[in-house]
Chains A and B, each alone.
Chain A
Amino acid sequence: MKNGRLEAPKKVSMAKFKPKTQVDFVVIGAGAAGGVMALELSRAGFQVVVLEQGPYLREADFQYDELKIRETSALVNDHAVQPNTFRQTEKDKAVLAPAISYGRCVGGGTVHYTATHWRHHEIDFVERTRWGPIAGTGFADWPVNYAELEPYYTKAEWEVGYSGLGGASPFESPRSKPYPLPPMPNKSSGVLMERAARKLGLHAVPIPVAILSQPYRGRSACIHCGFCEWFGCKVGAKSSSLASLIPAAEKTGRCEIRPNSYVREISTDKSGKVTGVVYFDSSKKEVFQRAKAVVLCANGAESPRLLLLSKSSLFPNGLANSSGAVGKYLMLGGNAGARGLFEYAMNEFKSVQGTRAIEDFYDSDPKRGFYGGGRIDCRWGFMGPIGFALQGLPPDTPGWGSDFKKACKENFNRTLTLLAYCTSLPLETNNITLDPDVKDAWGLAAMRVTYMDHPDGMKTKKFFVERALEILDAAGAARKWAQPVTETKSGGHLMGTCRMGNDPKTSVVDRFNRAHDVPNLFVVDGSSFVTSGRNHPTCTIHALAFRAADNIIRMSKNGSIKTSVGA
């Protein structure tokens, strides 16, 4: 409103660059980190081309349609054209399996994710110092600590738009500023969680979410439709990169988002510097986009794959891989949980997935006899009514017939899920490699995933199932049950595969996400995580990305990266 008149927002046409134009930066991937890079670098005056392998969808493309989301890969990678192979150890033959899941559209995983947004705690960066070495693992401290990242966590919370209550958790590390928006209104599951916590002497704290509890910077607030996890937000209240960062980047007039662009190689010259990238456009035609520098934000599985695909005589083991660490130390995080049935209708299908979590078991504790910790949140836990009918009933319920129907009717609104997100250790033997036999629909080597939980990871999951059952009991559940703890064979929280470190012999990127081996290449996404934290990676990906961007801008202005803005 201006002078009482309602003005339509000014339409800005997005920048367009020719492939032969040497732009300052090509950003590969338009997800959590790619969105931050797009905004920060274009706002600082650079020309930026963001290449996204998926389509550019808009709010109008998102539907309240559980079947469609279940049956199509509208928002995520499609294993029919991009197969994965999986094996548990290097001795096994990898077989086709949908092991890795990630967002594949402008906005990446932030379009369909649940949007729970936890900062790491101080301990997450220094666990190796605190707990000592763990034999057979790559357990290490991060080269950056919480205090250094804190201003960037704050920046992310305000730029992207988070809702939460700073200081509510006695376990939270110090923060310089509150969240910009108050937490989401509590749900019945959250009230039950608070009851249980009081009884057990634990703390149930509000879950911070990248979802707007109130209108913010021209975007409207959440309408509690209940379609967060797996769905795109129809009202733009979920602070995906699509809704928050990318429109602001486009407004600078210096950032072009180029969807349906599937990168197959990061190219280098004889001196070992990056010159641009080769990608397939929507008609599978190869295009070479020139750039002064490249920021790889393709996620913790596709980023290492692309580096391994980008091998050359100068980089025979893959780009930026003199350490041999590219692809290694994959961490998928641990998940464990239990479900309970309560007396009254909770209608958990409404609003965000969950509103309260318990952090009392966050840190590892030597008394447990193993390394591992996590956070238990309460949530509805289903995609929709179909998902509930297929996965939500107690294990002794018949799968069909009148008792099945009766259980669907009686339990739908009275069931809740406790889900623990816990640590997984970095193991060299858990990794992303190129499959020697299987190819994707573009003729590129398929992603091969080798992964087996460390014994401590399995113990951690069992520990959290027991805690979840105790909490359900204390909350007054009429019934409770847990599925048996199983080994991790798939994941969407993709961490560790281009690990960050001060030593180029053992890590891929430095403490500012710059590749040790290639001065004008940056890798910014979950791949730089050194340890898994308590699994939810996006908040820390945001913070790392804002910090890396700050540093790139500084280096460019002092001339240590050659760009159009540099000295």
Chain B
Amino acid sequence: MESVAAQIIPADDTPGAREAGCLYFIDRVLSTFDRERQAVYSQGLESLQAKTRELFPAAGKFSGLTSPQQIQVLKAIERTPFFAQIRLHTIAGFFANPEYGGNQEKIGWKLIGFEDKFQFAPPFGYYDANEKRAAGSTEKGEYGEV
């Protein structure tokens, strides 16, 4: 399962789903609010191994494949309910609050630049900051405030 998650959000120059602990997140949701989805996983993992054996008869299991081989297997099953589910859970785990077990060290948030300060003051971004500079010392925009 972890190998699948690690292909959905792979590590490259930055950490991916494996490093963020998405597996722990999935374990957790399958024993709490998504309990009824356990069956999707158990059936899905079986067909994943079956597809692995079909495409790579010499390989024992999915996690033993090379990365390009894993991608090939996943492409063959990417329209199944199992893949849709594990994709959703991996993404949710990667970007959810860290206390759910994924997004450890805020790996997901750091990747995209989401700041978890929950309190901000203007300027918020490049264009409004720039407008403020362009407006000079008056700090007045078209409608009094910028």
Chain B residue nearest to A402 (CB atoms) is B10
Q: Which of A71, A190, A227, A389 contacts B91 (CB 8 A)?
A: A389
Q: Which residues of A255-297 are within 8 A (CB) of B?
A: none
- The smallest C-beta distance from B35 to any residue of chain A, in angstroms, reads 12
Q: Bound state CA distance, A223 and B16, in angstroms?
A: 32
> Contact at A187–B33, with CB atoms within 8 Å?
no
Given known A405-B10, A408-B111, contact A223–B97 (CB-CB < 8 A): no
Q: Bound state CA distance, A50 and B10, in angstroms?
A: 53
Q: Which residues of A500-517 are within 8 A (CB) of B?
A: none
Question: Does B62 count as interface, using CB distance less than 8 angstroms?
Answer: no
Interface size (B, Cβ < 8 Å)?
49
Given known A348-B125, A402-B12, A405-B10, contact A64–B118 (CB-CB < 8 A): yes
Given known A165-B143, A405-B9, A412-B113, contact A224–B122 (CB-CB < 8 A): yes
> Contact at A390–B125, with CB atoms within 8 Å?
no
Q: Which residues of A405-432 are within 8 A (CB) of B?
A: 405, 408-409, 412-413
Q: Bound state CA distance, A187 and B7, in angstroms?
A: 36
- The smallest C-beta distance from A174 to any residue of chain B, in angstroms, reads 19
Question: Does B119 count as interface, using CB distance less than 8 angstroms?
Answer: yes
Given known A225-B118, A401-B71, A405-B9, contact A347–B124 (CB-CB < 8 A): yes
> Contact at A224–B120, with CB atoms within 8 Å?
yes
- The smallest C-beta distance from A386 to any residue of chain B, in angstroms, reads 5
- The smallest C-beta distance from A468 to any residue of chain B, in angstroms, reads 18
> Contact at A413–B92, with CB atoms within 8 Å?
no
Q: Which residues of B122-146 are within 8 A (CB) of A?
A: 122, 124-131, 141-146
Contacts of A388 in B (CB 8 A): 95, 112
Interface contacts (Cβ under 8 Å), in number, total 147
> Contact at B112–A408, with CB atoms within 8 Å?
yes
Q: Which of A191, A194, A405, A413 contacts B113 (CB 8 A)?
A: A413
Question: Does A125 count as interface, using CB distance less than 8 angstroms?
Answer: no
Q: Bound state CA distance, A399 and B90, in angstroms?
A: 12
Question: Does B55 count as interface, using CB distance less than 8 angstroms?
Answer: no
The interface centre, meaning the residue of A187, A227, A384, A405 with most chain B CB atoms within 10 A of its CB, is: A405
Chain B residue nearest to A406 (CB atoms) is B12
> Contact at A191–B131, with CB atoms within 8 Å?
yes
> Contact at B122–A400, with CB atoms within 8 Å?
no
Contacts of B100 in A (CB 8 A): 67
> Contact at A405–B12, with CB atoms within 8 Å?
yes
Contacts of B118 in A (CB 8 A): 64, 223, 225-227
Cβ proximity bits A180-212 to B, threshold 8 Å, 1 near / 0 not: 001101111111101000000000011000000
Question: Does A65 count as interface, using CB distance less than 8 angstroms?
Answer: yes
Q: Bound state CA distance, A72 and B96, in angstroms?
A: 14
In the A-B complex, list the 7 residue pairs whose CB atoms are closest, starting with the nearest. A344-B126, A188-B125, A412-B112, A188-B127, A346-B125, A385-B95, A67-B96
**Could you list which residues of chain B lie within 8 angstroms of chain A, going by C-beta atoms?**
7-10, 12, 14, 16, 33-34, 71, 74, 78, 87-88, 90-92, 94-97, 100, 108-109, 111-116, 118-122, 124-131, 141-146
User: With A185-B128, A226-B118, A401-B7 given, can you name 5 additional A-B contacts, CB distance below 8 Å?
Assistant: A189-B127, A192-B127, A344-B125, A347-B113, A412-B114
**Could you list which residues of chain A lie within 8 angstroms of chain B, going by C-beta atoms?**
64-67, 70-72, 165, 168, 182-183, 185-192, 194, 205-206, 223-227, 342, 344-351, 384-386, 388-390, 399-402, 404-405, 408-409, 412-413
